[in-house]
Structure 1
Amino acid sequence: MMKTWTLLLLPVAAALEQLRWGTYHSGLYFGIRSRTFPEHVSAGLLWTSSNEDVSQIHHECTERDRFETYGWTKHDGKHFGQQSIRDRINRMQLDTTFLKPPLDQNQYSTTSWASRIAVNPLYQEKGLAESNSLFFYFDLGCQDDAPEHSCRNDILKQLQWRIDEPEDCIEPMADGISCLEMQIHASHPTIEIYNFQTRIQAHFRGREASLLYWGDANVNVVNVKEKTLQYAQRTSVNRQDLEIELPNEVDDDATNVIVQLKYDPRRVTDVVLHVVFAEADEEYVTPVVVYDEVISSLEKSFSSQFDKVFPLSKTQLNGKSLSLELIDTAKAAFSSLIGGIGIYLEDHDQIQETSPLPLYSAVPSRSFFPRGFLWDEGFHQLGILSFDAEITMDVIDHWFGTMDTNGYIAREQIRGQLAQKRVPHEFLVQHASHANPPTLLLTIEKLIEHQGDSLAFKKWLKTLMPKLQTWFEWFQSTQEGTIPNTFRWRGRHEDGRLMPNTLASGFDDYPRASTPSDDERHGSDVLSRIADILQVPSEKFKSLRTTYSTTLDQLHWHNNLYLDFGLHSADGTFENMVVIRCAGQNGEGIDATIPVQQLQRGNPDAACPSSHPRFLYPLGDGAGGLLKKQVFKPNTIRKQFVEHVGYVSFLPLFLKLVPVDSDKLPILLSHIQEHLLSPYGLRSLSPSDVYYNRPNAPGDAPYWRGAIWINMNYLALDSFQYYASHASSEQVRKAYRSTYNTLRQTIVKTISDEYKSTGYFHEQYNDDTGKGQRCHPFTGWTALIVNILAESF
């Protein structure tokens, strides 16, 4: 008979100790992890059914799964999160809950957590599978989770597992509810985090269900899906389908234990998998609690905090109160943002040579970008800091913890094996001269507004200040232009695209000067606010804003717009070319382009570069035709202003750098209304621009060339609201107020309509249709819909 023990909960530690455990594996559908370093413990969920090939077992978030929807609907970033996953192929709805048991009022355990996975059929039980399986695993990890890392050998020293075999629960259940239970114990004499106890219960109606388990030294969080598949077996002599059935054994050197709940959904209903986990220094087992009351309390606590920070019930849109549906959409956007915060570790011996310390960061997209991005993070924290400033400050500390002694912070943090295996190898290397817009300064500026009177915040800011100054000085020295007080984004070079990208700017394929050169000038924008944000007595910083603002007007204001300057052709043409493969002396291939007529006439060798002079063949487009590519043929190339009307042209306005009495205010607003304002939001590039919606290369769809991006619409609304209140001219104030109201209404409708229609928030939105585009769910800066609704800028 299984013993019942008392739940041991350790006292609440410091505020950041509340973050010891969380749903920090952002790229997993339901992944839990400790923030301990370098040793840590992960836990996670996988599932499959006989409705699809067993190789499609679900673990990592991916668009290929084609779920109806998934994402956090409630999440407070520390103690509680709820998520709904609608898996249409397997006819399963999974409602996952993560919580930390409450100790007392407003106090929660820092060393224990619980989860509940409830599974119900979709579509009123139509098309149910013959067999469903849920898998929940516990993984003892170290460093960056590389399965081959030598640190895994250290785990095995004196590590011991004890598995209490599955059996019927001894606690009384509600009428008609069956219960299976098992317990897992891990112990290690020297590594504290590897000492834990967990109790798993499966509740269900019906009797045809089983709990199975397996543990192996070659399995961890990185390869658990692939390794679990090795136990796929034929279901019967007459069936070719495979089904996983774990062998009920744990190897002596296992570092990962997986529990499988297997059942027939046609005969078993109301399935709930309960997991209660606790760290422990002595042997005990936590009891499973029916968490209905706890979860209900946590739901109310989240809603109360959300409503306090974002009082949407008192907010109006177009003169009307917000609907409950729209408020729930806002809660889902915010919850998916804060619930998407993860912890990422890169080992010192890996590709990056920045600090091997963990990075605690929100992510743009759990399915496509489950890793940290520097300029995204500034926008992420604009959405989080009002709700929980402690989380924001800790995120900022982690980002500056990755800074090297020169002040360089890698713009894209591909840390750890889970992240690295999803990114092509050529993108793993970061360049120490390439920057990203320092949007964390916007977050710090807003923190000062919200937390300025707090002694704890002032102490934190004082500690951070030297790093901020070092970072700023790195920007000054590495991104400086050829003319004093000008700046140029590094990393632009000819790369065979229609227009060379400017990844460092954050605007990727936004059209800049047609020919990259050292003479380019890109606006200083965010940096010009440094004196206000740093708030230091140095005369050097005090004078910077004036200096940069003057430079901005003198060297970027042209033809009533703020423009780039560089080596540019404004009168070139676009030609359609055929992509061909050319070979070098050793047979290595390279792609080149050739006019269609030249290919038809023969002599294609002339189109190959001297390094690869031999023509091999034209490339196909995969549809029976030839692969075509547009090539820009410049005519007059000279140093001049680069006249493209788009987001870049209005950054000084969006960042509120234009004086309130400037005669530029009505001019800029007129251009926005004429070129960027669409029925769905502000587009990134004017439809009259020659680069509008032009792809940069085959398969390289336009990115910042017309589509609507929420981060820039947020900044625009922030500035419109500011000038609507502060512009010296009443006429200008009215014009900005009117545009603000129109844009706020349209951008909210665009995002909420698509969320209602598709179940997802998107990376960008089409400026002609309002439809969501690119990756989903994208609950990074798109979650700023909450701030826009609450008018919290």
Structure 2
Amino acid sequence: MTGLIWHGTQDFQSFQSARHACDQGDGLSGYTWTEHDPREGGVQVLNDPRNNVKVTTELLKVQGGEHGGSWAARIKGEPLNPGIPSRTSFIFYFGIEGLGGIDMDTDEDENGVEGPIKFSGSTPDLGDFVIRVADGPDNNAVTSGPHAHAFADRIGKTHFVGLRLPAGDVWKSREHIMNAVLKHAQSVIAPYQDPAKGAPDPSFVLQLPDEVYSSSNLYAIQKSFDGEFQFDVFFESGSAKHRLSSSHLDGGVPAFKERFSKKFNEKFPLPGGASDSLTAFSKAITSNLLGGVGYFYGDSIMDSSMTHEWDEDETSEGFHLLQIGAWDNDFSLEILKDWINLIDEDGWVAREQILGEEARSKVPDEFIAQVPSYANPPTLTMAVTAFINRLKTFDSGPSDADLGLDHGANSQVVMEDGAPQSRDVYLRNPELAQEVLRSIYPKLKRHYDWFRRTQRGQIKQYGRRARSRTEAYRWRGRTETHVLTSGMDDYPRGPPHAGELHLDLMSWMAFFTRTMRDIAGYIGETDDEKAFVTIEKAMLDNLEDLHWSEEDQMYCDVDVNSDDESYFVCHKGYLSLFPFLLGLLEPSSPHLGPIFDILRSPDHLWSPYGIRSLSASHPEFGQGENYWKGPIWIQMNFMALSSLYKVYAKEPGPNQARAREIYVELRKNVIDNVFKEYERTGYVWEQYDALTGEGRRSHPFTGWTSLVSMILAEKY
């Protein structure tokens, strides 16, 4: 693992709030990938007003060898306000868990190292490797300040430490590195306790101790600067035999940025006349989504004993992958396959993937244990459907065989400037696409069957009548006030009851069935395809029979009262839109008009900023924790726009003209508000205020909020 820590040296207090992992409480005025491609690298910009520094990191990946290739990173900074000092200290660290080792090749010196610094190491996964760190040509150190003469031998040098951490502790690197700096600082400052002497300048005190313990598995190096700075880090894989230098970054970063812009304009074209700032915004939120993809491993904690009395009768990634798949189909498939591989033998996959101690340290205790009867909206099916649609519409041009490039699923085109480019291998080769779908189909079907088995609702009881005797569903794991498993945590529902039926889950299951039908048809599982067609019809029939309230003219949840009678639980909001949001209704449906009435009414869901989650006229609007009781969520607006664009504004029907009008207005409202708030705050947000449009809660939130790039390009 590698990481970067930095702090200001203008005072001692800045060290206590040293930057490490980006967190919304850090007080940064913006941090974003401006460009990022998982195959090539990226550029990230962080604005730190507390320490008056703008930090830019530039990363290039160089493929080759048998262990994932090499990479080079440039970290550079400049004052946000040139009129005031910008004094900063940066600590780059790297460590390994498990088998392997790292050694410091550069000769140690108790006063620090001048010039480049080099390490070598080896692990079973990485093979042999070298890590080098080199300064830029114009760096300046803090050379003046109290007691500068006493520290002359250490000023301007690279300081270091090598630590031996217990197994499983390398993820706590920040804590150990900061302790090493503090311990050294205490010894350095001890002779200056007399107030008459005054303390030395923080730049001379807050330093690593320049010592290496035997068998160290964590190394850190520290560089301190006055004003603008630059330093480069190189990771060279032994099997790739690369020899990287600063010149690779000098020429490679501009070339990468040019390629990224060209590809972005092809993948997510903006409408004519779009401003440069809107283009930069769309690039940034897409890049942040791509840059946020990580590889995680470890164990999960499960609690199979957790239950509620209304559950005792029974034993979000999809949105992200829509956009990742539009950018890089093959990369999205790798992620999709990893997610599907998490499905266990029963067909269950945990709602939250909290893997290992590091991940658990960031999650409240009450959310850590996962219950194997609790579900989550099957949004991954959206990613599978999107892949199939890309297969059906892909214009491959000349085949790989025609070009002499047919080297298998992991091959890539190497451009003239040496940069790799995805060739959409799975789209260009239908046989490989079939192979992928066949490989994921059994587990996905097992997951589908798990939903139908464990989330089944009751039909025969409570005087209910429906054309199908089997297709009804309810979320397990709810409380009196929350249905976390639905994803719409505090959205109003009826009282918990073993006989309740949930409209959103019924809709998700119909959508899931349609996806399974499409996969089965594509891979030639004709018997399964026919079965899914039958089940889908039964679900859509029961959607009407069980969930449409003629009196309320809306789709609703269903609950059971104290007299054991079934009744509708109707709350105008996202829930009541679900059959429309997932495109389950025919364009000729008589229910589409009443849905549009609710959606387009300013008294209910319509706002200048997007569709609200709950009617503004609802008594619970904006109340309580106000998570799904009014705020605007971009993924839900994306679903609405997608259904309008692909179905209701496209296909003939009595509401087609109205659907077109709503689409145009809603698209503009969503884009304008998210962009306005991005320019105002420097971030995109988890949700937006239902009355003002202001960003709310987590930020930056470039998961599903990054779908605005898809909306801009009208790629649904």
TM interval, short-chain normalised: 0.7 to 0.9
Is residue 67–residue 125 contact of structure 2 (8 Å, CA) maintained in 1? no
Of 650, 669, 689, the residue aligned with 1:746 is 669
1:788 aligns to what?
711
Q: CA deviation at 1:709?
A: 0.0
Q: CA deviation at 1:286?
A: 4.6
TM-score after normalising by structure 1: 0.73
1:89 paired to 2:57: no
1:211 aligns to what?
158
SS at match of 2:117: strand
Letter of the aligned partner of 1:87 in structure 2?
D
Is the strand fraction higher in 1 or 2? 1
Q: How does 1:440-589 map to 2 (within 5 A)?
A: 440-452=380-392, 454-483=430-459, 484-494=470-480, 500-523=481-504, 524-534=506-516, 535=518, 536=520, 537=526, 538=528, 539-558=530-549, 559-567=552-560
Letter of the aligned partner of 2:324 in structure 1?
I
Inter-CA distance 93–671: structure 2 relative to 1 (3 Å threshold) = same
Q: How does 1:161-172 map to 2 (within 5 A)?
A: 161-165=103-107
* Whole-angstrom distance in 2 between the partners of 1:725 and 1:426: 44
Q: CA deviation at 1:289?
A: 3.1
Q: CA deviation at 1:449?
A: 0.5
1:133 paired to 2:89: yes
1:768 aligns to what?
691
Q: CA deviation at 1:89?
A: 0.2
Inter-CA distance 255–283: structure 2 relative to 1 (3 Å threshold) = farther
* Whole-angstrom distance in 2 between the partners of 1:97 and 1:522: 47
| Identity score, percent | 30
* Whole-angstrom distance in 2 between the partners of 1:482 and 1:651: 20
Inter-CA distance 295–102: structure 2 relative to 1 (3 Å threshold) = farther
* Whole-angstrom distance in 1 between the partners of 2:158 and 2:564: 71
Inter-CA distance 93–520: structure 2 relative to 1 (3 Å threshold) = same
Q: Deviations over 1:431-489 (max 9, x none)?
A: 11110110111111111010246332121011111111111000000100012200000
Letter of the aligned partner of 2:128 in structure 1?
N
Is residue 63–residue 69 contact of structure 2 (8 Å, CA) maintained in 1? no
* Whole-angstrom distance in 2 between the partners of 1:94 and 1:109: 30
* Whole-angstrom distance in 2 between the partners of 1:109 and 1:79: 16
SS at match of 1:395: helix
Q: CA deviation at 1:779?
A: 0.4
Q: CA deviation at 1:251?
A: 1.4
Q: How does 1:122-201 map to 2 (within 5 A)?
A: 122-129=80-87, 132-141=88-97, 152=98, 154-155=99-100, 159=101, 161-165=103-107, 180-187=115-122, 191-193=124-126, 195-201=128-134
Letter of the aligned partner of 1:223 in structure 2?
K
Of 269, 278, 290, the residue aligned with 1:326 is 278
Inter-CA distance 108–449: structure 2 relative to 1 (3 Å threshold) = farther
Q: CA deviation at 1:311?
A: 1.4
* Whole-angstrom distance in 2 between the partners of 1:408 and 1:76: 32
Letter of the aligned partner of 1:99 in structure 2?
L
Q: CA deviation at 1:270?
A: 3.4
* Whole-angstrom distance in 2 between the partners of 1:250 and 1:692: 60
Q: CA deviation at 1:505?
A: 0.5
Q: Deviations over 1:696-754 (max 9, x none)?
A: xxxxx21000000000000000111234444433x511111111110000100110000
1:671 paired to 2:620: no
* Whole-angstrom distance in 2 between the partners of 1:740 and 1:179: 62
Greater mean deviation of Cα atoms: 670-679 or 235-244: 235-244
TM-score after normalising by structure 2: 0.81
Is the helix fraction higher in 1 or 2? 2
Of 5, 16, 19, the residue aligned with 1:58 is 19
Is residue 520–residue 567 contact of structure 1 (8 Å, CA) maintained in 2? no
Is residue 303–residue 370 contact of structure 2 (8 Å, CA) maintained in 1? no
Q: CA deviation at 1:187?
A: 3.8
* Whole-angstrom distance in 2 between the partners of 1:274 and 1:521: 55
Unaligned runs of 5+ in 2: 142-155, 193-197, 305-315, 393-426, 460-469, 521-525
1:45 paired to 2:4: yes
Inter-CA distance 207–332: structure 2 relative to 1 (3 Å threshold) = closer
Q: Deviations over 1:755-791 (max 9, x none)?
A: 0000001000001111000010000000000000000
Q: Deviations over 1:306-352 (max 9, x none)?
A: 1111111xx15xxxx211110110000100001100111113xx525
Is residue 493–residue 516 contact of structure 1 (8 Å, CA) maintained in 2? no
* Whole-angstrom distance in 2 between the partners of 1:248 and 1:281: 31
* Whole-angstrom distance in 1 between the partners of 2:56 and 2:543: 52
Of 731, 734, 737, the residue aligned with 2:657 is 734
Q: CA deviation at 1:426?
A: 2.4
Of 274, 278, 288, the residue aligned with 1:336 is 288
Letter of the aligned partner of 2:714 in structure 1?
E
CA RMSD between the two structures: 2.5
Inter-CA distance 48–204: structure 2 relative to 1 (3 Å threshold) = farther
* Whole-angstrom distance in 2 between the partners of 1:461 and 1:379: 19
Inter-CA distance 474–201: structure 2 relative to 1 (3 Å threshold) = same
Q: CA deviation at 1:666?
A: 1.5
Q: CA deviation at 1:249?
A: 2.0
Runs of 4+ displaced beyond 6 Å? 282-285
Q: CA deviation at 1:531?
A: 4.3
* Whole-angstrom distance in 2 between the partners of 1:419 and 1:477: 31
Letter of the aligned partner of 1:122 in structure 2?
L
SS at match of 2:158: strand
* Whole-angstrom distance in 1 between the partners of 2:5 and 2:333: 33
* Whole-angstrom distance in 1 between the partners of 2:201 and 2:457: 63
SS at match of 1:744: helix
1:226 paired to 2:217: no
Is residue 513–residue 568 contact of structure 1 (8 Å, CA) maintained in 2? no
Unaligned runs of 5+ in 1: 1-41, 142-151, 168-177, 355-375, 495-499, 570-635, 696-700
Letter of the aligned partner of 1:554 in structure 2?
D
* Whole-angstrom distance in 2 between the partners of 1:160 and 1:688: 63
Q: Deviations over 1:357-379 (max 9, x none)?
A: xxxxxxxxxxxxxxxxxxx2100
